[in-house]
């Protein structure tokens, strides 16, 4: 076990953004306190919760001096809450712990190790378990998502292309990563990327030209919820991802990735348009679908765009689009 150093600053800052999840918060906090690596500070960033979050946090602050609690009187939203945390951090390294997720005991120890060995790295990342709302591991789903996000083909070590790994393969989970804080900037968190702020943050890290190290172990547990996503979230995510891909397409350094980025932009715009059509917003849907078609002509986007001219009948027919 690595104990707290004599340095005034901790080795790791754990940022824990939260909003009204008092029932899950103790599991996240306990997982941090049970780390084999103990040289850390933990900052709870309460975005104006309306439940018992403050009372839960107070118990942990009283119990452990490494825990700080910040409550915003008004809801800032995820981007400003993250930015506040980034500016408040003092550790050499930084990681995010979601209020409903869990670090396994050796997460900090194993994730800081490659960054300590190699100062050229800006981040390390690992695979992770998926669990259901009650905390039971979903073994088949975990294996499936490791394949979907291509972590199953990554070897341990420095990844060959961090931009592709971060924003095209989307192999890096923001809460399954550790960052070298000195290279992070507040500008890495952009309000225009809302809904895709995690990918934008990772893209900014990759753009520094510094390396990323992959550790093929499952060192944290990510909670999947079967319900609870608001109707606005898919459209919001689409906007954030469109901003990301549009900016990435402008960067001359990404010339080799442009065909894949253009394809991803088209797919994302089409999905956003179809979602808007399903929620009976045909004019907004048509604008998104035209963006998709300008990037790449596909039967999916053409069909959806045609349906935007059919009013309510078009909205009800979106189930036929694959």
pLDDT digits (tens, 9 = 90+) for 62-99: 999 999 999 999 999 999 999 999 999 999 999 999 99
Q: What is the pLDDT of residue 282?
A: 92
In whole angstroms, give the CA distance from residue 81 to residue 286: 33
Domain with 238 in it: 232-320
Structure tokens at 56: 């839960």
**Of 197, 223, 249, at which residue does a domain stop?**
223
Per-residue pLDDT of 264-315, as tens digits, reads: 999 999 999 999 999 889 999 999 999 999 999 999 999 999 999 987 776 7
- Are the C-beta atoms of 205 and 184 separated by less than 8 Å? yes
In whole angstroms, give the CA distance from residue 251 to residue 264: 16
Examine residue 51 and state whether it is found in any structural domain, yes or no. Answer: yes
Whether residues 143 and 275 share a domain: the answer is no
Which H/E stretch holds residue 123? strand 121-131
In whole angstroms, give the CA distance from residue 260 to residue 208: 21
In whole angstroms, give the CA distance from residue 271 to residue 285: 9
CATH number of the domain residue 105 falls in: 3.90.550.10
Structure tokens at 21: 């999840």
Per-residue pLDDT of 151-168, as tens digits, reads: 999 999 999 999 999 999
Structure tokens at 44: 């709870």
Examine residue 68 and state whether it is found in any structural domain, yes or no. Answer: yes
In whole angstroms, give the CA distance from residue 219 to residue 176: 8
**Of 223, 253, 270, at which residue does a domain stop?**
223
Examine residue 4 and state whether it is found in any structural domain, yes or no. Answer: no
What's this model's pTM, rounded to 2 decimal places? 0.92
Which H/E stretch holds residue 266? helix 258-278
**Of 158, 192, 223, at which residue does a domain stop?**
223
* DSSP at 262: H
């Amino acid at each position: 076990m690595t104990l707290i150093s004599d340095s005034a600053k901790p080795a790791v800052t754990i940022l824990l953004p939260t909003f009204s999840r008092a029932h899950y918060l103790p599991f996240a906090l306990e997982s941090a306190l049970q780390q084999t690596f103990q040289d850390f500070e933990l900052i709870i960033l309460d975005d104006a919760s309306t439940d018992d979050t403050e009372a839960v946090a107070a118990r942990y602050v009283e119990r452990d001096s490494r825990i700080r609690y910040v409550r915003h009187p008004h809801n800032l939203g995820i981007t400003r809450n993250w930015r506040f945390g980034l500016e408040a951090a003092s550790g050499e390294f930084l990681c995010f712990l979601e209020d409903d997720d869990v670090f396994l005991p050796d997460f900090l120890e194993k994730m800081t190790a490659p960054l300590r060995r190699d100062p050229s790295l800006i981040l390390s990342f690992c695979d992770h378990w998926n669990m259901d709302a009650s905390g039971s591991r979903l073994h088949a789903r975990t294996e499936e998502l490791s394949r979907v996000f291509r972590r199953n083909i990554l070897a341990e070590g420095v990844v060959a292309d961090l931009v592709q790994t971060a924003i095209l393969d989307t192999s890096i989970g923001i809460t399954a990563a550790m960052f070298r804080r000195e290279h992070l900037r507040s500008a890495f968190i952009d309000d225009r990327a809302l809904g895709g702020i995690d990918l934008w943050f990772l893209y900014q890290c990759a753009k520094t030209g510094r390396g990323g190290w992959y550790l093929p172990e499952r060192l944290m547990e990510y909670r999947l919820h079967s319900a609870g996503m608001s109707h606005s979230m898919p459209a919001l995510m689409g906007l954030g991802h469109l901003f990301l891909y549009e900016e990435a397409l402008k960067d001359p350094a990404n010339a080799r990735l442009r065909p894949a980025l253009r394809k991803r932009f088209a797919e994302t715009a089409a999905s956003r348009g179809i979602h808007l059509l399903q929620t009976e917003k045909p004019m907004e849907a048509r604008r998104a679908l035209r963006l998709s078609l300008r990037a790449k002509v596909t039967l999916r986007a053409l069909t959806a765009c045609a349906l935007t001219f059919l009013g309510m009948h078009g909205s009800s027919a979106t189930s036929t689009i694959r």
